[in-house]
Amino acid sequence: MASERSGAASSASRPGAAEAKASTNGALLDVDGLFKHFGGIQAVAGATFDVAPGSITALIGPNGAGKTTLFNVITGFYRGDRGSVRFDGRDVFGQPPYEIARHGMVRTFQITKSLAAMPVIDNMTLAAPQQPGERLRNVLLAPARVRSNEREVHEQAMELLEIFNLTKLADAYAGTLSGGQRKLLELSRALMARPKLLLLDEPMAGINPTLGARLLDHMQRLRKEEGVTFLFIEHDMEVVMNHSDRVVVMAEGKVIAGGEPREVRKDQRVIDAYLGAGVGSPGGGRRKK
């Protein structure tokens, strides 16, 4: 099971370990002693935690704790200074974002990156992995193969849109969608990429409670039916306490606590971190703009 470990107890990463599909402790994502600085600011200062397969893990912490930076380093958008990131048995530290996404670790962004001037359906079909039609050689020399694959991808996309109640908007430009619809689109688009682990950066921010509840239902269902693992940054403590089975708490670039939601809630270090940052207790149900 996932557990919060001290930085010293680093997982021995054996490059030759052939059987290692998951790392030694069975985690899907194993982050160890990760550092990232910007000039004189240490944004991530030795973060160590892991994410168990099939879990919904929440990443919480006061503003400026380094959560989004941590996401960016894990997914390759920032180059970390040092540390290790193992995903699904692979060392992915320092790999480019597109490689990491291809391994099955797919992220969304705090500010949704719906591709505004593209129709919803193109947003979806874009995300399908390993498309033969993305190679010019196939487009020119194997058009039949490209077309048949495109039909399959289109079908999958429509199925997902159906699930997320976006079917009617399939041909609308993504830029015409409401904020909440964009969040749903980004989630369903990420699912098109067939992720093993989905990293969601504040999926509930800026959407109405009804839509938020639906999004959470989707997460639970995807976990159960498709075996997708979730790691998500969230500020709404109610959501964190009720919908996650593991919580990782960050403060000042470090992971200061981890465990089940109930334990974490009582953890003195967590309470101190939130009080120290002057934003109230973690039970406060605060939402970041």
> 48 or 108, CB closer to other proteins?
108
Q: Would you count residue 142 as binding other proteins (CB under 8 A)?
A: no
Cβ 175 to other proteins shortest distance, Å: 3
Q: Would you count residue 144 as binding other proteins (CB under 8 A)?
A: no
Of 60, 101, 200, 222, which one interacts with other proteins (CB under 8 A)?
A: 101
Max Cα distance, the chain (Å) = 64
Alpha-carbon span 65 to 252, nearest angstrom = 5
Q: Would you count residue 41 as binding other proteins (CB under 8 A)?
A: no
Q: Mark 170-209 with x for binding to other proteins (rule: CB under 8 A) and - for no binding.
A: ---xxxx------------xx--x----------------
Q: Would you count residue 69 as binding other proteins (CB under 8 A)?
A: no
Inter-CA distances, 65 with 45, 91, 161, 162, 256, Å: 10, 25, 35, 37, 10
Q: Would you count residue 7 as binding other proteins (CB under 8 A)?
A: no
Alpha-carbon span 112 to 15, nearest angstrom = 37
Cβ 162 to other proteins shortest distance, Å: 21
Best CA proximity match to 258, nearest among 6, 88, 49, 77: 49
Cβ 76 to other proteins shortest distance, Å: 8
> 32 or 202, CB closer to other proteins?
202
Within 8 A by CB and 6+ apart from 204, the residues are 212, 215, 216, 234, 236, 239, 287
Phi, psi of 243 (to 5 degrees): -120, -5
Of 26, 54, 96, 179, which one interacts with other proteins (CB under 8 A)?
A: 96
Q: Would you count residue 133 as binding other proteins (CB under 8 A)?
A: yes
Number of residues that bind other proteins (CB under 8 A): 40
Asked if residues 96 and 284 have their Cβ atoms less than 8 Å apart, the reply is no
Q: Would you count residue 48 as binding other proteins (CB under 8 A)?
A: no
Interacting residue ranges for other proteins, rule: CB under 8 A: 75, 77, 96-98, 101-102, 106-109, 113-118, 122, 125-127, 129, 131-136, 139, 146, 149-150, 153, 173-176, 189-190, 193
